[in-house]
Structure 1
């Protein structure tokens, strides 16, 4: 008896076990069901591929229907002309359905490539979606707690990564010839030389804006000359280094994450380890050292640019000459204010470098993962830089500086 799906049902004595029909293999997917005392054997033939999807589905349905009559089910793949992902998935789905009905199923005559394909597309039952419930106040508290716990784990991971970096720096100090000076110079060029124009421009504009708003507000009290004190202290202690760190985190930190993440995706980091090289020494140490050297320089240039913007705005809006601005600036600020701002720069650079490079090493083998970690690198770096600036502000206030 034959069916339109290409499935033929023959009695046990029509074909000996393991024998194929004498006719040539058909192009379309087909199966021969042979009944035995303890079950049924499905002998597949033809091309179980996507091009013959209707025949594949029909044949698989007939196999599942024959299995309902009880006994063991064996699927013989020795007569297959071709098997692709769709055919393998349909077979796995049929196997899962038969097993769910309490029948034993096994494959026979499968080539090694067939077994690999069947294993890779193994059918898995998806869990049904639970009933959606409304979020309550406790859910918000639980989400906050989970976020804090996740942040704690990330901080611990950053500290561990920092420890690996410090150990790599000590190894470089013990073997100075292994230090990659060319990589350090290249990173200094990318961070400091190429980043200086945009950072100085932004600092100049921010200095102009802050000074202009300060003059407008202080004019109400006839104290517009005190805008020099405001812009001088604010720029040297906080604004210059904070703007620089945020810009460096967005520009250079994201570049670090993208570069190292791309190397992870192309398995170049694993290749370095196979070659006997330490990726921390090769990739991380030059970048973090370059950041720690470049950020104070950029912060100093940002201070000068912001003060220049303040001087120009004071001239245009407040009628204060450049000489008067500089004279009052000398009495309003001292080296102490500039030192407080510049002291923060290496620590902010270290935080940016550790977060950016650790996020790069966490990238997996997809573009989605790369984009996610680049975004996380920038957000976490800016957040931690602001937190560190607040810690320094509290510390300097406590020691009366």
Structure 2
């Protein structure tokens, strides 16, 4: 029999051999204040039991055991097992056994790295992106169905609709969005006019800049500018608001109270977008035409009377309607994506930032896709 112990009621170990097997009687306090002694005794256990058979570690005499002591003892047991000496704990108190079970020492091994080709990795990334895009499309269609069901329920029972929320969103989207939409559209119209005059005057065709501004602004530019600005301004705000509510479990609280989050949160926002975007698109058209007219007057020598007369000859009602017709559909796309990304927020600020970024990027991308689809449609029907 050999005894190994420390001073001041510290950790101690007694080593007993029985027919080739080893019994380790652990006693004392195996706690953090005695960390140095605990580590020294653990190393001595490995030396004292070298060449023996199976090992039993008796913990009945342990006075105190904390996380550090339990972890070192469990690590030592694993190290004995790794060198071919099965080791087990015996006689542990229930609280000590619970601590040993929870500590569950595991060795830290470097994961094996699988060598792959860069081409394979690139193709895998492309495939993963395609699959994710498909999943997003399916989620979007499913969410559109939920919104339509909620809207139908509101139409059946109008008392369930939150009109104050709709008015609040109209103020936020339409009224407060007027300055930035008008300013951006005015500047873009002025820039298009200046560049058009600069290029057309080489061919003596400066008056045709009016046709360029009128058709481009009314059919494409105004609705695109407005939709992109709304996606970056209001769409990101929707995602952040709904995402914050999701993080604080307010969406779950609505469900617990028997309210449908789609009816309460989503429907008023999407309806406000559908109403606001055509109005802001009209304002954008007028602002861009004003900016183009002023630049044509000062830079190209085209007076306002000539500008208006030529504009009337260049455009028709269909030119104006093409831009206005696109606006509600783009508003629906922006509202769906912003709301869906907000509901996808998890419980961290990082997730919120990621979903807001994703909302803006996807909204702008889908706005351009929808505009391209409408362009092909109107060209096919010669409208």
Specify the TM-score bucket, using the shorter chain as the normaliser: 0.7 to 0.9
Report the CA distance shift for 1:358/1:125 in structure 2 as closer, same or farther (over 3 A): farther
The equivalent residue for 1:217 is: 199
Q: Does 1:10 align with 2:10?
A: no
Separation in 1 of the partners of 2:299 and 2:150?
53
Please list the CA deviations of residues 154-211 of structure 1 after superposition, one character each: whole Å capped at 9, or x if unmatched: 1001111111111111111122111111111111111111111111111111111111
The equivalent residue for 1:186 is: 168
Which of the numbers 242, 246, 249 marks the counterpart of 1:260? Answer: 242
Please list the CA deviations of residues 256-306 of structure 1 after superposition, one character each: whole Å capped at 9, or x if unmatched: 111111111111111111111111111111111111111111111111111
The equivalent residue for 1:128 is: 111
Q: Does 1:272 align with 2:254?
A: yes
Report the CA distance shift for 1:321/1:153 in structure 2 as closer, same or farther (over 3 A): same
The equivalent residue for 1:142 is: 124
Q: Is the 8 A contact 2:185 2:285 kept in 1?
A: yes
Separation in 2 of the partners of 1:228 and 1:239?
14
* Residue ranges of structure 1 left out of the alignment (5+ in a row): 13-36
Please list the CA deviations of residues 230-271 of structure 1 after superposition, one character each: whole Å capped at 9, or x if unmatched: 111111111000011111111111111111111111111111
1:10 aligns to what SS in structure 2?
Answer: strand
Report the CA distance shift for 1:214/1:130 in structure 2 as closer, same or farther (over 3 A): same
Q: Does 1:303 align with 2:307?
A: no
Q: Is the 8 A contact 1:355 1:380 kept in 2?
A: yes
Q: Is the 8 A contact 2:219 2:322 kept in 1?
A: yes
Separation in 2 of the partners of 1:124 and 1:359?
40
Q: Does 1:231 align with 2:213?
A: yes
The equivalent residue for 2:156 is: 174
Separation in 1 of the partners of 2:130 and 2:172?
35
Mean Cα deviation higher: 370-379 or 61-70: 61-70
* Residue ranges of structure 2 left out of the alignment (5+ in a row): none
Q: Is the 8 A contact 1:191 1:252 kept in 2?
A: yes
Separation in 2 of the partners of 1:116 and 1:355?
49
Report the CA distance shift for 1:130/1:307 in structure 2 as closer, same or farther (over 3 A): same
Report the CA distance shift for 1:88/1:116 in structure 2 as closer, same or farther (over 3 A): closer
TM-score between the two structures when normalised by the length of structure 1? 0.81
Q: Does 1:385 align with 2:380?
A: no
The equivalent residue for 1:70 is: 54
The equivalent residue for 2:177 is: 195
Report the CA distance shift for 1:251/1:122 in structure 2 as closer, same or farther (over 3 A): farther
Deviation at 1:100, TM superposition (A): 5.9
Which of the numbers 118, 123, 126 marks the counterpart of 2:102? Answer: 118
Q: Is the 8 A contact 1:45 1:77 kept in 2?
A: no
Separation in 2 of the partners of 1:255 and 1:178?
24
How many residue pairs get aligned? The number is 373
Which of the numbers 334, 339, 348 marks the counterpart of 1:357? Answer: 339
Report the CA distance shift for 1:54/1:78 in structure 2 as closer, same or farther (over 3 A): closer
RMSD, aligned CA: 3.4
Q: Is the 8 A contact 1:208 1:313 kept in 2?
A: yes
Which of the numbers 335, 349, 353 marks the counterpart of 2:317? Answer: 335
Q: Is the 8 A contact 1:211 1:314 kept in 2?
A: yes
Q: Is the 8 A contact 1:40 1:72 kept in 2?
A: yes
Q: Is the 8 A contact 1:228 1:328 kept in 2?
A: yes
Separation in 1 of the partners of 2:311 and 2:108?
72
Q: Is the 8 A contact 1:44 1:76 kept in 2?
A: no
1:236 aligns to what SS in structure 2?
Answer: helix
The equivalent residue for 1:33 is: none
The equivalent residue for 1:163 is: 145
Report the CA distance shift for 1:388/1:11 in structure 2 as closer, same or farther (over 3 A): same
